[in-house]
Chain A
């Protein structure tokens, strides 16, 4: 693959001293010509709608888990701005390679949230068609999807396509060997790839300070010769603007970008986790004050784009959507057990046909 063997100027690769923030915690916007937003009022309301939707469906998913309807669920609460702001910057042809906490990104890409919850319910291992929404299946083994994104981007480059690949990953994922290899491959091959790291401060119980000695995760980028951008991940507009610039950089043939969105996981790692064992209420309170949704709502109300009526309508629509997700999941039947053999290979082998027949016999024995 043709590569640009020149070395970038290191000064162009380092993140800014402070996370890029356009919307402060009070919802006051300070525009920055280096990070243009270029969103109309309709798009601002759409961002808001998606964030409210993500929060409502997320809350519903936790409820469903508590009621025994999901085996486990990984909440995105607190990360709505990071996920929706970044995904909103994607072009339709771009592909997302998510981890398992990306309900917000999925919503932006038009994936049916019930399809994601079917995975947590255990209906199937994967329920949506990745190509339809350009949203790959959720990846549970940490950081492994970053290599798929890098490889996809290498393919896009070879093909002369203007598609970018975006790997969504967490702070802990940057410690994995696959993250290193993905950063390196994407950079060596100038692949149109963005590594979007949501630094939500914890990998289950282990704080980010134990993951790395790097000044920030964004600083890691320089070691791969790619720019590292660092943004306030609780600022939906700042995250959008940074991601927009990162995608343009990649799409223009300049190679990958590492984006670190500084945010916080407000809920437990998953519903199976007990965060009181490793973090205190005071910390939670500090982050609650930086809530991405209320910050954005304050801004929208100040701008006159959202008022009580709009907020109420958005809330009702989101609640209705969450209810329809609930209806799709609640007591949903599991997949057809005979399908277990259908997709292991393009054509089942003789061994699998024999085993399918065996299970079929077992099933008909149960019926008798």
Chain B
């Protein structure tokens, strides 16, 4: 058992996937010699050569659009968008083609493409480097949206995404890249579309994904000192959403708070809250609450801690939930 970072686990997943399947190719900006700005693709070019891991011109629509063409040829491209805010130039290729072509072709064209996107804030970055655009893409039918919160999940879910016949947007919580876990890789590949209980609890359920799962676990630890026993669910897959696990969890506590970094308006939390109201109305003791970023453009880095949901904001929401 060794301590491995999420970035290291992702790197190992890419390495093992490339080792196992010659059709897996990696490209994007600075992914070869540099190993990616977060070093997630570190040393892959040394191991697999420039045919299978290469730098592209600086153009995100180009990266995703050519990945589609390469997938049509028969490859399984795993491409990197350097930062969340730079996924927007590729928005049309992602939403009009990556998401739709399999359906448009009535299943005759499959696009096994993985688009890796480091996302979220908390690293003191300049503008456009801290966004949480997952709801934009989750609203687009045809994409699978996956986001890990731990190194072992990062490995397992990225492996599953690469073997998926469907296109996957793989959102990597960049501020957790260096979080460590004692784990022996490889771990078993996880199926996409399953939420997991990260912490058992009876007082209320915190539902989260990606970077804020750790924040929820911190909140649960702090709450334990207050005598609250909080359950924490890691959604892991935003599309498809594992509603059954969420309903079962919330059914046990009667109270749910959805936590994410993204702005709450029209966000994943709104979707989860609506689903829980539709499916678990009589199991609820309180309205489903949402804790997230404000409905503002992502702030300057020295102000971001006011924007990002933290332990206090989560515990305040728990208190409001318990007041019902």
Residues of A within 8 A of B (CB): 1-2, 95, 97, 124-127, 129-131, 136-137, 141, 144, 146-156, 158-159, 165, 177-178, 181-182, 184-185, 188, 339, 342-346, 349-351
Residues of B within 8 A of A178 (CB): 61-62, 65, 92-93
Q: Which residues of B contact A137 (CB under 8 A)?
A: 101, 104-105, 109
Chain B 49-95 residues near chain A, CB threshold 8 A: 50-51, 54, 56-57, 59, 61-62, 64-75, 89, 92-93
Does B201 lie at the interface of the complex (its beta carbon under 8 Å from any beta carbon of A)? no
Name the contact of A144 in the complex, choosing from B75, B93, B142, B241 (C-beta under 8 A): B93
Let me know if B108 and A131 touch, CB within 8 A.
yes
Cross-chain contact B72 with A152 (CB below 8 angstroms): yes
B contact residues vs A (CB 8 Å cutoff): 25, 27, 50-51, 54, 56-57, 59, 61-62, 64-75, 89, 92-93, 96-97, 100-110, 141-142, 144, 164-166, 193, 239-241, 243-244
Interface centre among B50, B61, B69, B107 (most CB of A within 10 A): B69
Q: Give the 4 A-B residue pairs with the shortest CB-CB distance, closest first.
A: A151-B69, A147-B65, A155-B73, A151-B66
Q: Is A141 a contact partner of B92 (Cβ separation < 8 A)?
A: yes
**Contact status A156-B103, CB under 8 Å:** no
Interface pairs (6), CB distance under 8 Å: A1-B51, A147-B61, A155-B70, A181-B61, A182-B65, A345-B144
- A147 CA / B60 CA spacing, docked (Å): 11
- Contacts A147-B93, A148-B72 given; does A130 touch B109 at CB 8 Å: yes
CB closest chain-B residue, reference A152: B69
Contact flag A184-B57 (CB < 8 Å), given A137-B105, A155-B74, A343-B103:
yes
Contacts of A351 in B (CB 8 A): 240-241, 243
Alpha-carbon separation in the docked complex, A208 to B106 (Å): 36
Q: Is the CB of B65 within 8 A of A151?
A: yes
| A188 & B57 in contact (Cβ 8 Å cutoff) | yes
- Contact (Cβ within 8 A) B66 A147: yes
Residues of chain B with a CB closer than 8 A to A125's CB: 100, 103-104, 106
A349 touches B57 (CB 8 A): no
Given A144-B96, A153-B69: A345 touches B142 (CB 8 Å cut-off) = yes
Residues of A within 8 A of B57 (CB): 181, 184-185, 188
The docked-state distance in angstroms from the alpha carbon of A185 to that of B96 is 20
* Complex alpha-carbon distance, A147 and B66, angstroms: 5
A155 to B74, CA, bound (A): 8
- Closest residue of chain B to A97 (Cβ to Cβ) is B69
Contact in complex: A154, B105 (CB < 8 Å): no
Nearest-neighbor residue (CB-CB) of A345 within chain B: B166
CA distance A125 to B107 in the complex (A): 12
CB distance from A136 to the nearest CB of B (A): 7
Docked CA distance A295–B108 (Å): 40
Contact B70 A154 (CB under 8 A): yes
Q: Which residues of A contact B96 (CB under 8 A)?
A: 141, 144
Q: Which of A151, A159, A342 contacts B107 (CB 8 A)?
A: A342
CA distance A245 to B17 in the complex (A): 40
Q: Which residues of B contact A151 (CB under 8 A)?
A: 65-73
CA–CA, A350 and B245, complex, Å = 13
> Whose C-beta in chain A lies nearest to the C-beta of B109?
A130
CB contact under 8 A between A344 and B142, given known A2-B51, A129-B108, A158-B75: yes
Across the interface, which residues of A come within 8 angstroms of B108, CB to CB? Answer: 129-131
Q: How far is the CA of A124 from the CA of B107 in the complex (A)?
A: 12
CB distance from B112 to the nearest CB of A (A): 9
Which one of B67, B69, B97 lies within 8 Å of A165 (CB-CB)?
Answer: B69
Are A177 and B61 within 8 A (Cβ)? yes
Are the CB atoms of B65 and A124 closer together than 8 Å? no
CB neighbours (8 Å) of B105 from chain A are 126, 129-130, 137, 343
A66 to B109, CA, bound (A): 32
Taking the closest CB of chain B, its distance from the CB of A281, in whole angstroms, is 37
CB neighbours (8 Å) of B164 from chain A are 346
Give chain A nearest CB distance to B254 CB in angstroms.
Answer: 24
* Cross-chain contact of A182 among B62, B67, B92, B243 (Cβ < 8 A): B62
Determine whether the beta carbon of A148 is less than 8 Å from that of B102. no
Chain A residues near B241: list those with CB within 8 A: 351
Select one of B65, B70, B240 contacting A350, CB under 8 A: B240
Contact A181 B97 (CB under 8 A): no
Instruction: List the A side residues contacting B239 at CB < 8 Å.
Output: 349
Report the Cα distance A2→B164, complex, angstroms: 28
> In the complex, how many angstroms separate the beta carbon of A349 from the nearest chain B beta carbon?
4
Known: A150-B66, A339-B106. 18 other contacts (CB 8 A): A1-B51, A137-B105, A141-B92, A144-B93, A147-B61, A148-B68, A150-B62, A153-B69, A158-B25, A158-B75, A177-B89, A181-B62, A185-B56, A185-B57, A342-B106, A344-B142, A345-B102, A351-B243
Cα A343 to Cα B108 in complex, Å, equals 9
- Greatest chain B CB density within 10 A among A130, A149, A181, A343 is at A181
Give A188 to B54 CA distance when docked, in angstroms: 12
Output the nearest chain A residue to B239 by Cβ-Cβ distance.
A349
A181-B59, A184-B62 known; A144+B72 contact, CB < 8 A? no
A68 to B321, CA, bound (A): 58
> Please, how many angstroms separate the alpha-carbon atoms of A350 and B164 in the complex?
17
Q: Which of B59, B106, B107 contacts A185 (CB 8 A)?
A: B59
CA distance A182 to B67 in the complex (A): 12
CB-CB under 8 A from B103, the residues of chain A are 125, 343-344
Inter-chain contacts of B93 with A (CB < 8 A): 144, 147, 178
| Nearest chain B CB to A74 CB, angstrom units | 17
Give complex CA distance A188, B103 in Å.
31
Alpha-carbon separation in the docked complex, A177 to B58 (Å): 13
B166/A346 in contact, CB under 8 A: yes
Closest chain A residue to B110 by CB distance? A346
**Residue on B nearest A188 in the bound complex, by CB:** B57
Looking across the interface, which residue of chain A has its beta carbon closest to that of B99? A344
Q: B64 contacts which chain A residues (CB < 8 A)? A: 147
A126 to B102, CA, bound (A): 10
Residue on B nearest A150 in the bound complex, by CB: B66
Q: How far is the CB of B100 from chain A (nearest CB, A)?
A: 8
